[in-house]
């Protein structure tokens, strides 16, 4: 995506207030820009090295944390495929057949009012660093203009994550990661606790947590919270 | 190091240098090699040895060397067409004068006859002459305003480098500079991606290990984290490696609860 004019326009839109904004603020503004420019109901910048580590780094719109949380909790969804393949995934209509690749995600997203979902990989050399997910509360493909903006926005976000921390005086990777939403931590800890309770692997513990969430209709985060606070055990 | 692999610069050894068509073909092949930095086993020293060898062949020079700026901005010899050059270049560095340094600091090509060089570089010139070199030129390794080093060429004869030859030398040097800068950026990006992925993964596994220890040893997650840190420090290993061993049961949780020490 070589489009310096488009890149310059988007950069101008997100950098207008103060040039000294840190990478976290820039990423937040990028998401807000995307939501406004493309009339989205959510824009989420998701960092991941694998399905389990998917974390919301920045987001805007009422569905941003929902689509991130759903994909991570369900262990399926377009962002995992976009990240793994390096190829964008477009689901302009979650009721359509191609969304059946992720039946649980499509059903859960529709249930909270998300009708269209687009996931763009943030590629950084060997493998990617995550995705930029866009969603809407109405079905329909992004216009060519919006799609081009979205791809450039993803590039800017990627560069901000990969390069800005190393600018003189900027924060390092560790500080950037510290800004990542901490709600996942509860799930990671609970998974470790469940694995100990069942004397089983982490993968099986995660599957049990996911199954419990599915069966009870509660979120994985809520159940994890109960596990961490020792209100719920899995070996009883 | 003298034998360069396929796909890298390094004397094709074909074609009569006096035949313009053959020379063009050699030049074209050299440019293709200069553009090829994406090989997984790319090596800067090999690459610049190739540039030296190619420029000697194409520009009918006797010797060539490539110097790159080090972190402090000083020039260092990275590759040369033969070992005799190395002494000269080292001397050039020590004396802080010579064609390479001029090309590097001005960002412009430099050419000098034996007489010119005596006037310009009083310390360097006698050494060059002593080594049998009479005509010399240097072109910057430059991408726009970014100069990263210089390519130095020497002839034993009095025949100056023609304008066309200087342009070829400059084009080869620029091509090499672009390749080196791209390779540097690519390497940096790979490294950052890896660091970020490792940081993300280790965050997950450390939290999982905290939960596991908290459960096995009936303690808070904070206390579990302290045990992980102490164990990692005592065994001089990374926190994420210990966490991974805990999660995979390679280290029994009880081992972390014991009074830590290098000799348990």
How sure is the predictor about B263, in pLDDT bands with cuts at 50, 70 and 90? very low
A236 inside domain? no
According to DSSP H, which parts of B155-220 are helical? 163-216
> What does the block give as tokens for B46?
């090999």
Residues A201 and A140 in one domain: no
Q: How far apart are CA B160 and CA B216, in angstroms?
A: 81
Residue A219, chain B, CB below 8 Å: the answer is no
Q: For position B192, what pLDDT does the model report?
A: 77
Q: Chains A and B: how many Cβ contacts under 8 Å?
A: 97
Domain termination residue (choose one: B187, B218, B237): B187
Band of residue B109 on the pLDDT scale cut at 50, 70, 90: very high
Residues A23 and A100 reside in one and the same domain: yes
| More confidently predicted of A182 and B106 | B106
Contact (Cβ atoms closer than 8 angstroms) between residue A221 and residue A73: yes
Residue B175 sits in which domain range? 20-187
Q: Which residues of B touch A162 (CB under 8 A)?
A: 189, 192-193, 196
Domain of residue A157, residue span: 4-178
Minimum mean pLDDT range among A72-86, B10-24, B92-106: B10-24
| Mean pLDDT, residues B38-63 taken together | 85
* Percent of chain B at pLDDT exceeding 70: 85
Q: Which residue has the tokens 């050039």?
A: B92
CATH number at residue A115: 3.30.450.40
* Chain A CB contacts of B215 below 8 Å: 192-193, 196-197
| Whether A167 contacts chain B with CB within 8 A | no
| Tally of helices (H runs) and strands (E runs) in chain A | 10, 5
CB A88 within 8 A of CB A119: yes
Domain boundary among B133, B155, B187: B187
Determine contact, residues B171/A155, Cβ cutoff 8 Å: no
Q: Work out the average pLDDT over B81-93.
A: 65
Q: Which of B167, B187, B207 corresponds to the end of one domain? A: B187
- The DSSP letter of residue A51 is G
Residue B40 pLDDT: 65
**Chain B neighbors of A228, CB-CB under 8 A:** 211, 221
Query: What is the tens place of the pLDDT at every residue in A32-82?
Result: 999 999 999 999 999 888 767 778 888 999 999 899 988 988 888 999 999
* Claim to verify: residue B120 and residue B194 sit in the same structural domain: no
> pLDDT value at position B15?
47
Whether residues A196 and B209 touch (CB distance < 8 A) is answered with no
**Two structure tokens written together for B58:** 């194409």
A217: burial class by Cβ within 10 Å (0-12, 13-18, 19+)? exposed
Number of domains within chain A: 2
Most confident among A101-105, A161-165, A192-196, B252-256 (mean pLDDT)? A192-196
pLDDT of residue B166: 95
CA dihedral B91, B97, B102, B104 (to 10 degrees): 50
pLDDT of residue B8 exceeding 50, the answer is no
Residue range A76-110, pLDDT digits in tens: 899 999 998 989 999 999 999 788 899 989 999 99
Q: Could you count the other beta carbons within 10 Å of the beta carbon of residue B46? A: 20
- DSSP state for residue A32 in the 8-state scheme: H
Overall domain count for chain B: 2
Nearest of A228, A123, A185 to residue B190 by alpha carbon: A123
The most confident of the ranges A117-126, A144-153, A172-181 is A144-153
Compute the distance between CA of residue B43 and CA of residue B148 in angstroms, rounded to an integer.
Answer: 17
CA pair distance A150, A147, nearest whole angstrom: 5
Query: Which tokens belong to A146?
Result: 């919006």
Q: What's the mean pLDDT when you consider all of chain B?
A: 83
Q: Choose between A13 and B150: higher pLDDT.
A: B150
* Domain harbouring B49, CATH code: 3.30.450.40
Please check whether residue B81 is in contact with residue B63, taking contact to mean a CB–CB distance below 8 angstroms.
yes
B239: domain CATH number is 1.10.10.10
Task: Answer yes or no: is pLDDT of A149 > 60.
Answer: yes
What DSSP assignment string belongs to A38-95?
A: TT-SEEEEEE-SSGGG-EEEEEESTTHHHHHHHHHHHT-SHHHHHHHHSS-EEES-TT
């Amino acid at each position: 995506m070589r489009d310096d004019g488009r890149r310059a326009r988007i950069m101008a839109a997100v950098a207008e207030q103060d040039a000294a904004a840190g990478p976290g603020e820039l990423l937040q503004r990028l998401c807000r820009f995307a939501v406004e420019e493309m009339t989205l109901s959510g824009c989420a910048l998701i960092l991941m090295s694998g399905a389990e580590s998917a974390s919301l780094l920045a987001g805007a719109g009422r569905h941003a944390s929902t689509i991130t949380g759903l994909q991570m909790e369900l262990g399926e969804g377009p962002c995992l495929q976009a990240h793994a393949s390096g190829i964008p995934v477009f689901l302009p209509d979650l009721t359509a057949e191609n969304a059946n690749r992720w039946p649980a995600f499509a059903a859960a997203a529709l249930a909270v009012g998300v009708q269209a979902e687009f996931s763009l990989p943030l590629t950084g050399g060997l493998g990617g660093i995550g995705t930029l997910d866009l969603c809407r509360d109405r079905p329909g493909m992004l216009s060519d203009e919006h799609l081009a903006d979205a791809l450039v926005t993803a590039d800017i976000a990627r560069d901000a994550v990969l390069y800005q921390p190393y600018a003189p005086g900027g924060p390092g990777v560790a500080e950037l990661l510290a800004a990542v939403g901490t709600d996942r931590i509860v799930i990671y800890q609970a998974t470790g606790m469940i694995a100990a309770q069942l004397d089983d692997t982490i993968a099986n513990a995660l599957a049990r947590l996911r199954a419990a969430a599915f069966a009870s209709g509660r979120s994985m985060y809520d159940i994890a919270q109960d596990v961490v606070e020792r209100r719920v055990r899995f070996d009883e | 190091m003298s034998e360069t692999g396929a796909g890298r610069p390094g004397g094709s050894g074909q074609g009569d240098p006096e035949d313009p068509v053959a020379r063009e073909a050699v030049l074209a092949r050299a440019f293709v090699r200069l553009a090829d930095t994406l090989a997984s086993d790319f090596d800067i020293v090999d690459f610049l040895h190739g540039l030296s060898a190619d420029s000697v062949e194409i520009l009918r020079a006797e010797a060539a060397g490539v110097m790159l700026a080090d972190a402090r901005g000083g020039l260092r010899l990275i590759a040369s067409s033969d070992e005799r050059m190395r002494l000269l270049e080292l001397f050039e560095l020590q004396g802080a004068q010579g064609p390479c340094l001029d090309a590097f600091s001005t960002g412009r090509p430099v050419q000098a006859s034996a007489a010119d060089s005596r006037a310009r570089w009083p310390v360097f010139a006698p050494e060059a002459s002593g080594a049998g070199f009479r005509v010399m030129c240097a072109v910057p390794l430059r991408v726009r305003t970014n100069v990263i080093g210089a390519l130095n060429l020497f002839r034993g004869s009095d025949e100056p480098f023609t304008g066309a030859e200087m342009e070829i030398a400059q084009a080869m040097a620029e091509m090499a500079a672009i390749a080196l800068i791209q390779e540097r950026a690519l390497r940096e990006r790979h490294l950052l991606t890896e660091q970020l992925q490792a940081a993300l993964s280790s965050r997950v596994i450390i939290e999982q290990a905290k939960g596991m220890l908290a459960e096995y040893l009936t303690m808070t997650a904070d206390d579990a984290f302290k045990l992980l840190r102490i164990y990692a420090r005592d065994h001089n290993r990374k926190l994420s490696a210990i966490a991974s061993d805990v999660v995979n049961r390679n280290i029994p949780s009880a081992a972390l609860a014991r009074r830590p020490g290098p000799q348990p």
